[in-house]
Amino acid sequence: MTIKTTELIRTSQSWDGATLPDFPQGRPELRIIRLDFPVGAKTGWHHHTVVNYGIVQQGDLTIVCQDGSEKTFREGEPLVEVIGTIHRGENRGSKPVILNMFYFYTPGAEITIQHPELEKGKSAPKVIKEDKLIEMI
Protein backbone atom coordinates (compact mmCIF):
# COMPACT_ATOMS: atom_id res chain seq x y z
CA MET A 1 0.00 0.00 0.00
CA THR A 2 1.36 3.43 -0.96
CA ILE A 3 0.76 6.64 0.96
CA LYS A 4 0.15 9.57 -1.37
CA THR A 5 1.79 12.89 -0.45
CA THR A 6 0.53 16.13 -1.98
CA GLU A 7 2.11 19.49 -1.22
CA LEU A 8 -0.72 22.00 -0.98
CA ILE A 9 1.40 25.15 -0.83
CA ARG A 10 4.99 26.31 -0.39
CA THR A 11 5.42 30.06 -0.24
CA SER A 12 7.00 33.02 1.50
CA GLN A 13 4.08 35.29 0.60
CA SER A 14 0.57 35.82 1.90
CA TRP A 15 -2.42 35.38 -0.41
CA ASP A 16 -2.24 39.05 -1.49
CA GLY A 17 1.38 38.67 -2.67
CA ALA A 18 3.04 40.45 0.28
CA THR A 19 6.29 38.94 1.56
CA LEU A 20 5.99 37.28 4.96
CA PRO A 21 8.04 38.91 7.74
CA ASP A 22 11.21 37.38 9.15
CA PHE A 23 10.59 35.09 12.09
CA PRO A 24 11.63 36.62 15.44
CA GLN A 25 14.43 35.17 17.52
CA GLY A 26 13.62 32.70 20.25
CA ARG A 27 11.65 29.52 20.64
CA PRO A 28 8.33 29.60 18.78
CA GLU A 29 5.02 28.51 20.16
CA LEU A 30 2.70 26.72 17.74
CA ARG A 31 -1.07 26.71 17.86
CA ILE A 32 -3.74 25.11 15.70
CA ILE A 33 -7.22 26.62 15.85
CA ARG A 34 -10.42 25.30 14.28
CA LEU A 35 -12.85 28.05 13.33
CA ASP A 36 -16.47 27.21 12.55
CA PHE A 37 -18.38 29.85 10.55
CA PRO A 38 -22.14 29.38 10.36
CA VAL A 39 -23.74 30.41 7.06
CA GLY A 40 -23.73 34.20 6.87
CA ALA A 41 -21.19 34.64 9.70
CA LYS A 42 -18.31 37.09 9.50
CA THR A 43 -15.51 38.07 11.83
CA GLY A 44 -15.02 41.64 12.94
CA TRP A 45 -12.35 43.74 11.26
CA HIS A 46 -8.93 42.70 12.56
CA HIS A 47 -5.30 42.21 11.60
CA HIS A 48 -2.67 39.63 12.48
CA THR A 49 0.80 40.31 13.80
CA VAL A 50 2.21 36.81 13.30
CA VAL A 51 2.59 34.26 10.51
CA ASN A 52 -0.47 32.05 10.19
CA TYR A 53 -1.87 29.77 7.54
CA GLY A 54 -4.47 27.09 7.20
CA ILE A 55 -6.79 25.05 5.08
CA VAL A 56 -10.48 25.37 4.39
CA GLN A 57 -11.83 21.97 5.42
CA GLN A 58 -15.43 22.69 4.43
CA GLY A 59 -17.27 25.43 2.58
CA ASP A 60 -15.97 28.61 0.97
CA LEU A 61 -14.42 31.46 2.97
CA THR A 62 -14.06 34.98 1.58
CA ILE A 63 -11.36 37.24 3.02
CA VAL A 64 -12.21 40.93 2.55
CA CYS A 65 -9.55 43.59 3.11
CA GLN A 66 -10.37 47.09 4.30
CA ASP A 67 -9.29 48.47 0.91
CA GLY A 68 -12.03 46.39 -0.79
CA SER A 69 -9.79 43.66 -2.21
CA GLU A 70 -10.98 40.14 -1.53
CA LYS A 71 -10.34 36.51 -2.28
CA THR A 72 -12.50 33.44 -1.82
CA PHE A 73 -10.87 30.21 -0.67
CA ARG A 74 -12.73 27.05 -1.62
CA GLU A 75 -13.04 23.81 0.28
CA GLY A 76 -9.67 22.03 0.35
CA GLU A 77 -7.64 25.13 -0.53
CA PRO A 78 -4.73 26.40 1.58
CA LEU A 79 -4.76 29.97 2.89
CA VAL A 80 -1.72 32.05 3.93
CA GLU A 81 -3.11 34.99 5.89
CA VAL A 82 -2.21 38.62 5.41
CA ILE A 83 -0.12 40.17 8.19
CA GLY A 84 -0.64 43.78 9.25
CA THR A 85 -3.52 44.24 6.79
CA ILE A 86 -6.97 44.95 8.23
CA HIS A 87 -9.44 42.35 6.97
CA ARG A 88 -12.30 40.07 7.92
CA GLY A 89 -13.50 36.59 7.01
CA GLU A 90 -17.01 35.99 5.67
CA ASN A 91 -19.05 32.90 4.96
CA ARG A 92 -21.12 33.92 1.94
CA GLY A 93 -21.85 30.32 1.00
CA SER A 94 -24.74 27.97 1.58
CA LYS A 95 -23.02 25.67 4.10
CA PRO A 96 -20.92 26.18 7.24
CA VAL A 97 -17.21 26.85 6.83
CA ILE A 98 -14.66 24.88 8.83
CA LEU A 99 -11.22 26.48 8.79
CA ASN A 100 -8.12 25.05 10.48
CA MET A 101 -5.46 27.71 11.08
CA PHE A 102 -1.85 27.24 12.20
CA TYR A 103 -0.09 30.04 14.12
CA PHE A 104 3.65 30.47 14.74
CA TYR A 105 4.58 33.11 17.31
CA THR A 106 6.73 34.04 20.25
CA PRO A 107 4.88 33.29 23.51
CA GLY A 108 3.06 36.40 24.73
CA ALA A 109 2.85 37.93 21.26
CA GLU A 110 -0.25 39.78 20.15
CA ILE A 111 -1.64 37.43 17.51
CA THR A 112 -4.75 39.29 16.46
CA ILE A 113 -5.77 42.89 16.98
CA GLN A 114 -9.43 43.67 16.49
CA HIS A 115 -10.62 46.95 15.01
CA PRO A 116 -14.13 47.46 16.39
CA GLU A 117 -13.84 51.18 15.57
CA LEU A 118 -14.48 50.15 11.96
CA GLU A 119 -17.85 48.69 12.94
CA LYS A 120 -20.73 51.06 13.57
CA GLY A 121 -21.24 52.01 17.21
CA LYS A 122 -18.19 50.17 18.55
CA SER A 123 -15.35 51.23 20.86
CA ALA A 124 -11.55 51.42 20.53
CA PRO A 125 -9.37 48.49 19.28
CA LYS A 126 -8.97 45.49 21.55
CA VAL A 127 -5.73 43.54 21.63
CA ILE A 128 -6.25 39.77 21.64
CA LYS A 129 -3.52 37.63 23.17
CA GLU A 130 -2.93 34.14 21.84
CA ASP A 131 -5.12 32.54 24.50
CA LYS A 132 -8.16 34.63 23.44
CA LEU A 133 -7.80 34.35 19.66
CA ILE A 134 -11.23 33.04 18.76
CA GLU A 135 -13.13 35.62 20.80
CA MET A 136 -13.15 37.80 17.69
CA ILE A 137 -15.67 35.55 15.98
Torsion over CA of 60, 89, 30 and 55, rounded to 10 degrees?
Answer: 10
What is the spatial distance between Cα 7 and Cα 45, in angstroms, rounded to a whole number?
31
The confidence score (pLDDT) of residue 25 equals 85
> For position 135, what pLDDT does the model report?
42
Residue 17 maps to a domain: no
Residue 99, domain CATH? 2.60.120.10
Is residue 5 in a domain?
Answer: no
User: CB atoms < 10 A from the CB of 58, how many?
Assistant: 15
Whole-number CA gyration radius for the chain? 15
> What percent of the chain has pLDDT above 70?
88
Number of domains making up the chain: 1
When pLDDT is averaged across residues 6-20 and rounded to a whole number, the result is 94
Q: Answer whether residue 123 shows pLDDT above 50.
A: no
The pTM of this model reads 0.82
Q: What pLDDT sits at residue 121?
A: 53
Listing DSSP states for 68-79 in one string gives S-EEEE-TT-EE
In this structure, is residue 101 part of a structural domain? yes
Look up the domain containing 40 and give its range: 29-136
